Chains A and B, each alone.
Chain A
Amino acid sequence: DAGVIQSPRHEVTEMGQEVTLRCKPISGHDYLFWYRQTMMRGLELLIYFNNNVPIDDSGMPEDRFSAKMPNASFSTLKIQPSEPRDSAVYFCASNQLQVNTGELFFGEGSRLTVL
């Protein structure tokens, strides 16, 4: 079975550019999470969805960040405009709470570098 699929794996962009990260969760999972990982702050939850509806976006750093989930098999995290401090690895994860007792299945991450 395919796991969580993220793209791109690596993105290098210049400050001020728009960045879009993509995620395909595991089929049948009804929760989707976006995390950001840095050396300084570790793994931080940015936002999560249940049945395509955003439940908690309190971790989104500022208005430059936005996330959507137009259907059960696709989500995007957009940064506009990007800044050097946004450089991090962004992970998407999914689960099916009632079945997996909360286990998160992570993608391989998107490494973002903003110059």
Chain B
Amino acid sequence: TQLLEQSPQFLSIQEGENLTVYCNSSSVFSSLQWYRQEPGEGPVLLVTVVTGGEVKKLKRLTFQFGDARKDSSLHITAAQPGDTGLYLCAAGKYGNKLVFGAGTILRVKS
């Protein structure tokens, strides 16, 4: 059983569409991170959310941390082909030990 469940597993959309991906858990976290990974590279941090209910925006990306700090969502507005990649959420329960969800593979077609 994954500590962090991500959905959907795979998403293929047209350029310009909006989308939301989710990261859910039954555990409470002090913080949660979102990473994007492109083929042949390591994951790169997009954002860290810390406070329940927190909303952070990064250009066309909007991240939300659930009020109970058990879940998070990533919304992309007007997706671009450059948004294509694997989106991973990650959280830690014990010290500096981060666990990752299985990820959402996003493909944006032009």
Which A positions have Cβ atoms within 8 angstroms of B? 4, 31, 33, 35, 42-43, 45, 48, 50, 55-56, 91, 93, 95, 97, 101-104, 106-109
Contacts and interface: CB of A to CB of B under 8 A. Distances in A.
Given A31-B96, A43-B100, A107 B42 contact: yes
A42 B98 contact: no
21 contacts: A33-B98, A35-B100, A42-B2, A42-B102, A45-B97, A45-B98, A48-B97, A50-B96, A91-B42, A91-B43, A93-B42, A95-B96, A97-B96, A102-B48, A103-B45, A104-B43, A104-B90, A104-B98, A106-B44, A108-B41, A109-B41
Contacts, number: 55
Interface size class of B (residues with CB under 8 A): 20 to 34
Interface of B: 2, 31, 33, 35, 40-45, 48, 50, 88, 90, 92, 95-103
